[in-house]
Structure 1
Amino acid sequence: MVRFIVLSVVIGMCTFSVLAKTLKFDAVLQCHNSRSEPGMVVRLEQSDKLIYSGAIGIADLKTMRPLQVDDVFQIGSITKTFTAAAIFKLLESNKLSLKDPVGKFIPNINPHYKHLTLEHILSHTSGLPDYLDDPTVHQVWGEYASIEDVINRITRKSVQSNPTEKYSYSNLGYILLGKVIEVASGLPYSAYLEEVFFKPLQMKNTFVMTKGLSVGNVQGYTTRDPAAKQYIKAEKLISRSWKVDRSWIYSSGAIASTLADMSRWNKALSSGEVITLQNFTLMATKARLNSGKYIKYGLGLNIQPLATIDSLSHEGMVPGFFSWNVHFPEHNLFATAFSNADTKHPGPMLLDMIALQLKLSPEPLIDSQKVKQLAQKLVGRYQSSSSKVLTISLEGNTLYAQYGDDIKRKIIPREDSSFSHECTENYFQLRENAGKSEIVPIYLYQGEQEALIKF
């Protein structure tokens, strides 16, 4: 009987802990979104356990259907990770080599491109231009075109630099890789990915959009038009040509997927199920320029520390949609978020959740005495080297921060002589340096920033 009671208490405590964390994640999601506007869906997993899955906002402003966690979203340039993995899959079948020049597979391409290797293109160090800012392409990309016609249209510019001279992100390069995959495999790009990735991994709601603007129940929105005071469908944007048939995005960004399918993909890719672990390691290794400098991109993956922790990631944006997919190998943590508004990056929201899960930010203070002690130390004026002034004030029992003449913002006292604004895990830390008090901003994405000195 006693054992049963103890077990019941333990189970109850665990249930309460899970519920408390879920409520925290819900609060973060609500901080970054409105229920009545286009929104976001998010999923966190650690050590093969689902930590959180949530959705907020509207999928279609015409029907006011709410977003759901199993909705299909366009994932944009996260597609590039799939394209890179497909190149490695063909390498493992002896269909190509990373040192092969792209001209071997596309012989009638611009002569200035022919010598560029697949490895150069994968790492965005080929010197290829991009086509997203080409007005001549904007005139025609609203309608379907074959991959051959797309390549013919977007490859007319000269290369911008020599291979490995510098990092220059190129969607054009990944379009070419899609054609390489077709030639080497004998299948259309979409069919090859279906055969070697989507079907074997049971990614039943993942596919390549070969034409059109939208798919499924989730519409993509934007607020990029200065004349629009509210969200409009991305393809109706007036200030720029935002009606882009997905045949023009192709292997650089035309995959649509769900949170659950991305979970399957993340685990399979990193475990050696998709390609060998040796080749995944190559994907996840920073590319090197001829100067000897390493860039923050490998072969289809961004490689950089986030909140001081090494990560592998890719973001994506196509008209109407924003996405981010990140893996922290050290913590066996995967996180994915999609937004159906291309002006609403899910990164800040996702980083706040990751910080909560990994305890990357000091905990909020709940002891009133500790809050009072911190307030006494904090109150005052601080200045950066650029003469930016931060004023910390105490009104009643509430602390406020104000930059210059900006609006006062309530701040949350935290452990370790720290504080934050509301709705963020970015924080500021009070430190002593050479006999002077200073406040150091610590951002999850950019790390420590310049200190502000008390005067």
Structure 2
Amino acid sequence: MIRLDRSITLLMLFAANSPETAQSQADRLASVLAESDLSGAVIITKGGSTVFSAGYGLANKELDVPNTPETKFRIGSITKQFTAMSILILQDRGLLDVRDPVGDHVAHVPDSWRSLTIHQLLTHTSGIMHSWALPGFEETMAVPTTLDETLERFFDEPLVFEPGTDFVYSGVGYFLLAKTIEVVSGTPYEEFLSSEIFEPLGMRDTGADRPETVLLHRASGYERADSGAAQNAPDIFMPILTGGGNLYSTVQDLARWDRALTERALVSERAYEAMYRPERGGYAYGWRVQQIEGREVLSHSGGVPGFQAVNFRIPAEEIDVVILSNVTPGRWGSVVPELFGILLGESHMSVSF
């Protein structure tokens, strides 16, 4: 059994249930997670109230520092949700339109990219390849690189399909969206997110990870060796993933983010409708949209070396689940259907991410 941090909180706030039922439900959630292999933190909220929050395992194995709900983790591709929101903020202000060709805003792009729309970049239907598909990209992720230099590495690569006709997940498309945000707003990407999203929502433990940044309560990343033992994950130059995977956060801050989305903060109703309207591959603007057992489920996962993250939402039930981990690969993903089953009063719920 993995180590269960003493910061675990079981707040029985399911208003529709009796105290005994709520306690039983909290106990079942704790049992499922304690028997998993999770090293990280979890938060589960319903109707804006925390019903479960806990840390598991160690944030730093060498110093024997436990993970807690206040621990900061790299969140990988969950970053894309904030990039998408930034685009919608700029659209609401009349500074761009998601139907615009990206070349209308970013001058330094190849001809093959110039007519790609912002909408196509948001929904991974642009035809731009994924960053991991470029030979040598992963091996050079520790090399300090500017956003412009990162984008230029893909300029000579052909589109993998006619824009708008297919779906291929592309981190590069989100790098280009980050550049679009910088050009249109006149503000560095991380500063725009901080002033327009993190500060208004009280997300004080979220930001862009950089080599020079010293973070209190930062988790170290680990990878499992073939033997199963944890070893230090290779570090990378996080700004190389700007717009697509360069942020860190806590489960508590991501719960604030999810609640703000439920309450329709930050942008217009029209923008929210666009955010959750899936295109090919069931992908909308920074969210995967699924219909599961009659319920709409919104989700996204993320991963960089040594870290995994998932963010699940069931809007109709106002249930949000965030799991952040600092050991990869994690086999704890199999517990997510059990968690939803407990929360919904069912045996399980078949979710995927």
Partner of 2:233: 234
Is residue 44 of structure 2 the alignment partner of residue 138 of structure 1?
Answer: no
Q: CA deviation at 1:342?
A: 2.6
Paired letter, 1:233: N
Paired letter, 1:22: A
- Which residues of 2 match residues 93-108 of structure 1 at below 5 A? 93-108=93-108
The 1:170–1:214 alpha-carbon spacing in structure 2 relative to 1, beyond 3 Å, is farther
The 1:193–1:200 alpha-carbon spacing in structure 2 relative to 1, beyond 3 Å, is same
Is the deviation greater in 106-115 or in 251-260? 106-115
The 1:347–1:310 alpha-carbon spacing in structure 2 relative to 1, beyond 3 Å, is farther
- Which residues of 2 match residues 143-292 of structure 1 at below 5 A? 143-211=143-211, 216-223=217-224, 225-226=225-226, 229-235=228-234, 243-287=235-279
The 1:244–1:345 alpha-carbon spacing in structure 2 relative to 1, beyond 3 Å, is farther
Asked whether the 8 Å contact 1:80–1:252 carries over to 2, the reply is yes
Partner of 2:5: none
Is residue 29 of structure 2 the alignment partner of residue 25 of structure 1?
Answer: yes
Partner of 1:316: 302
Q: Which residues of structure 2 form unaligned runs of 5+? A: 1-16
Paired letter, 1:162: E
Paired letter, 2:165: E
Paired letter, 2:221: G
Is the deviation greater in 111-120 or in 213-222? 213-222
> Residues of 2 paired with 1:346 and 1:255: CA distance?
22
Q: Which residues of structure 1 form unaligned runs of 5+? A: 1-12, 236-242, 288-293, 362-424, 426-442, 447-455
Q: Secondary structure at the match of 1:69?
A: coil
Q: CA deviation at 1:260?
A: 1.4
Partner of 2:291: 305
Is residue 56 of structure 2 the alignment partner of residue 56 of structure 1?
Answer: yes
Asked whether the 8 Å contact 1:212–1:246 carries over to 2, the reply is no
Partner of 1:351: 337
> Residues of 1 paired with 2:309 and 2:190: CA distance?
20
Partner of 2:8: none
Asked whether the 8 Å contact 1:270–1:280 carries over to 2, the reply is no
Asked whether the 8 Å contact 1:57–1:67 carries over to 2, the reply is yes
What RMSD over aligned residues (CA atoms) do the two structures have, in Å? 2.0
Return the structure number with greater relative CO, CA threshold 8 A, min gap 6. Answer: 2
Q: CA deviation at 1:308?
A: 4.6
- Which residues of 2 match residues 351-370 of structure 1 at below 5 A? 351-361=337-347
> Residues of 1 paired with 2:214 and 2:32: CA distance?
28
Q: CA deviation at 1:212?
A: 6.6
Q: CA deviation at 1:190?
A: 0.1
Q: CA deviation at 1:154?
A: 3.2
Is residue 320 of structure 2 the alignment partner of residue 334 of structure 1?
Answer: yes
Asked whether the 8 Å contact 1:307–1:445 carries over to 2, the reply is no
Q: CA deviation at 1:327?
A: 1.0
Q: CA deviation at 1:111?
A: 1.7
TM-score, with structure 1 as normaliser: 0.70
Q: CA deviation at 1:101?
A: 1.3
- Which residues of 2 match residues 81-92 of structure 1 at below 5 A? 81-92=81-92
Q: Compare the two structures and name the one with the higher strand fraction.
A: 1
> Residues of 1 paired with 2:195 and 2:146: CA distance?
21
The 1:55–1:350 alpha-carbon spacing in structure 2 relative to 1, beyond 3 Å, is farther
The 1:311–1:249 alpha-carbon spacing in structure 2 relative to 1, beyond 3 Å, is same
Asked whether the 8 Å contact 1:42–1:55 carries over to 2, the reply is yes
Q: Secondary structure at the match of 1:310?
A: strand
The 1:329–1:138 alpha-carbon spacing in structure 2 relative to 1, beyond 3 Å, is closer
Paired letter, 1:51: V
> Residues of 2 paired with 1:359 and 1:221: CA distance?
35
Seq. identity, %: 25
